[in-house]
Chains A and B, each alone.
Chain A
Amino acid sequence: MDSEHSWSSPQAGHAGTLSPSAGTGPTGQRPVYLPEGAHRRVKILVAGHLGVGKTTAIRTLSEIPTLHTEEVMTDAAAATDDLSLVGLRNKTTTTVAIDFGRLTLPGDKIVLYLYGTPGQRRFLPLWKGIALGALGALVLVDTRRLDASFEVMDLIEERGLPYAVAVNVFPDSPDYSLEILRAKLDLAPDTPLVQCDARQTNSSLNALIELTAHSIARAGEKTS
């Protein structure tokens, strides 16, 4: 068979650290299996524009090395991509990448999945599936590019998904007070707004705690 040629070798560059047995794919990572006992798996979206720190936050919280998947979407790009160039006119598919991680809560009864979700409207077909069943969304914003967050907040509100906003602080971020940020982002009074350093575990956990408490408060509302 040609399977050795069809897929990259998982051993390359990792000899000695990885089991050479079956069970690794092109990523070369040894799988971290789920708890054996009965548990529930709950999805939380980590959303925001490119470069806002989604993958950093997921990496901080995840018990497994961050995994990466790609999905091809048909027609998704047609509305916004510039198709004026001859030769690109027939481009009706686009690839969307999702980084995700996993966090088992103490007691092994709940396993959280954190999905890094791109915030552009052209990924709407992806959002329809990914938002289904999610506890809520943590929206990361960068105070240097506040306007870049409006699109993702609109998408989430349209889906009726509860969300909290976490301001990922960068060294050169303008020092707005949370009250000013709340006004600038036009947040509802009950939408949680916290400061967050996506590199810090406690800080990122706190943002998830705010989101979960907000989702509980909204449970029972008919929103979607």
Chain B
Amino acid sequence: MSRGQEQRRLLPAYLATGTGGAPIGSTIDTLTALRATGIPLAPYHTSVHQRVVELLEGGSLTVMEIAGYLGLPVSVGIVVAEQLVTDGQLKGSAPVADAAEVAANANRPSKEVMEEVLSGLRALLV
């Protein structure tokens, strides 16, 4: 579903994050899950920050999903998520529990995780 001409957002993506940049050494991945902590937004937060926090008041979603639901470029979603985690309004959790085990297998999931994927997929067959 594409936006019509009159529905085009007026706030360009590069302004969505306000004036701040993302902290150096980003730990946010497209599959980092985020949820709201209940800490109120600050006056310098933009309407995009507000929409992200409101979306995550009911549960957690990944950055990819946040971008999809709010119509944001993924890169903007990552920057906004970084800022809100740093400022305390969001809490993030990494896609896998142990990053070291991912790094050990050429940045792919561990064999144990893939075995779990395999049995889970087989269980879905009808």
Output the least CB separation between A72 and chain B (Å): 6
Query: Contact: B33 with A69, CB < 8 Å?
Result: no
Query: Contact: B73 with A31, CB < 8 Å?
Result: no
Query: Contact: A135 with B126, CB < 8 Å?
Result: no
Contacts A41-B31, A42-B95, A219-B111; A224 near B106 (Cβ below 8 A): yes
Question: Count of chain A residues with Cβ under 8 Å from any Cβ of B?
Answer: 66
Q: Which of A19-27, A149-157, A168-176, A191-199 contacts B (4 or more CB under 8 A)?
A: A19-27
Does A223 have its Cβ within 8 Å of any Cβ on chain B?
A: yes
User: What residues of B have a CB within 8 angstroms of the CB of A40 in the complex?
Assistant: 95-97, 109, 113
Contacts A67-B68, A70-B73; A216 near B33 (Cβ below 8 A): no
Does A92 have its Cβ within 8 Å of any Cβ on chain B?
A: no
Query: Contact: B71 with A72, CB < 8 Å?
Result: no
Does B22 have its Cβ within 8 Å of any Cβ on chain A?
A: no
User: What residues of A have a CB within 8 angstroms of the CB of B65 in the complex?
Assistant: 31, 64, 67, 102
Interface string of B92-126 (1 = CB under 8 A from A): 00011100001001111111011111101111111
Query: Contact: A105 with B116, CB < 8 Å?
Result: yes
Residues on B lying within 8 angstroms of A by beta carbon are 1, 3-4, 7, 9-11, 13, 29-31, 33, 47, 50-51, 54-55, 57-62, 64-65, 67-75, 95-97, 102, 105-111, 113-118, 120-126
